[in-house]
Chain A
């Protein structure tokens, strides 16, 4: 990659969302903003290799994109309507909110609006904030490119027709809306970390990397928010184990069997630093902060045998109080097995069957506990159920090997 290519990639990462956000504010139209931003970056790719990278690339891009947007509005000869509309919907002065009012933050809240379907929020966020192209997003979620394009087009139309606002929510709505944004980012991360689909890589690093990058951005915009810090720490501590988690033959390696020397120490250190920073505030932690703390305990143990399981279970007890989901109860039971033995854990897990019988991890956890209790036949049936439901290729490979190792 040449220096100019590198500069363009870097500027794209740093400036894309800013350009889209500033154009959305000016023209009151996400579609115009997106198209003009894309055209401005295309112009940069064309001209910078010959003309050199301008001294202020962000300003160059914004100016170019603004010109393109105005050209388009003129072409469509509806400029009066559009501009009037823009004045009406977006021309109002921002309300004093006591939070950093960055235009990108407004854009994030528009893309993650609760009136949009979750998959739409994900797609819009990756396109408008992340700057991923439609084909890239379609590949990331194994959806046809045309279907993904339509999803984004429909979303932009709804935002405009229903007038989904372009602003940072009021202080009273903010916590709920931030948690909606974090849910979108965690979903992107998880899809990268535990990619689903038979013909896909078990880990799609482009998605985990993008989720981390966007969460870092939100953290810059909302530095005081504990859950934003918690989610970032959680992602870093999970991502630190990425290369140790899948074997050369594409099989999942369980946490207890991983080569801990292969973990990314810089990511672990950053994650630990964030967790300590949150602990020092003495504010009650939300679910992401507690999950990050659990991962901090795991990543603090030099050897799996050194894991402080009582600490892990205590954190899960705390998590159960803020998140009553059966999946949390399942994970708590898995930790309990290390402390109180597989029999106690199995009794707890069996009580979750109504809610979790369609979830592969439930069967995988049962299979492991039954194996440890020497109940091979039941264990085999549970492995079969888990394999049937699992969608990640590395997980299927791991579960199949465990099943085949059972002594009958």
Chain B
């Protein structure tokens, strides 16, 4: 079972050196425990482009994120975990490491 862990932030590029070190240490634990699938940081929402190719003509590109909001997803993990209890425990450790709020969402 896989879970998407979104990192919630209101600034971009705001991780401190200490936070980065804590995230690295956490990732190592994640790999050692067999829970690592993927992780990555994202650039600013203003760097995003929305694409709509549903119509007959050329795809439409729109500058900026699909959702304007005060908070955004600044990065993410994908965990492998047998159930939500394990995912929540890992997410709690991840929240501590990156010093941000997180959202856990299961994959279908």
Contacts and interface: CB of A to CB of B under 8 A. Distances in A.
A169 B3 CA distance: 20
A291 to B, nearest CB: 30
A163 B83 contact: yes
A89 B83 CA distance: 8
B108 interface: yes
Interface string A104-116: 0000000001110
Contacts, number: 26
Nearest to A169: B85
A: interface residue count bin: 10 to 19
Nearest to B105: A162
The interface residues of chain B, by DSSP majority, are classed as: mixed
A248 interface: no
Which one of A113, A161, A163 has the highest number of Cβ atoms from chain B below 10 Å of its Cβ? A163
B108 A161 contact: yes
B87 to A, nearest CB: 8
A115 B1 CA distance: 17
A163 B107 CA distance: 10
B92 to A, nearest CB: 11
Interface string A149-193: 000000000000111110001000100000000000000000000
A162 B85 contact: no
Nearest to B3: A162
B88 interface: yes
B83 A115 contact: no
B108 A164 contact: no
B22 interface: no
A115 B88 contact: yes
B89 to A, nearest CB: 9
A140 to B, nearest CB: 28
Contacts of B82: 163, 165
The interface residues of chain A, by DSSP majority, are classed as: loop
A165 B85 contact: yes
B97 interface: no
Contacts of A115: 84, 88
Nearest to B106: A162
Contacts of B104: 162
A155 to B, nearest CB: 13
Interface string A68-110: 0000000000000000000001000000000000000000000
A173 B83 CA distance: 15
B83 A165 contact: yes
Contacts of B108: 161
Interface string A127-167: 00000000000000000000000000000000001111100
A113 B83 CA distance: 12
B88 A163 contact: no
A162 B106 CA distance: 5
Interface string B76-103: 0000001111001000000000000000
A113 B85 CA distance: 9
A161 to B, nearest CB: 5
Nearest to A92: B82
Given A163-B82, A163-B83, 17 more contacts: A89-B83, A113-B84, A115-B84, A161-B108, A162-B3, A162-B84, A162-B104, A162-B105, A163-B1, A163-B84, A163-B106, A164-B84, A164-B85, A165-B82, A165-B83, A165-B85, A169-B85
13 contacts: A113-B84, A115-B88, A161-B106, A162-B3, A162-B105, A162-B106, A163-B1, A163-B83, A164-B83, A164-B84, A165-B82, A165-B85, A173-B85
Interface of B: 1, 3, 82-85, 88, 104-106, 108
Going nearest first, the 9 A-B pairs with the smallest beta carbon separation are A165-B83, A162-B106, A163-B83, A162-B84, A164-B84, A165-B85, A161-B106, A163-B1, A163-B84
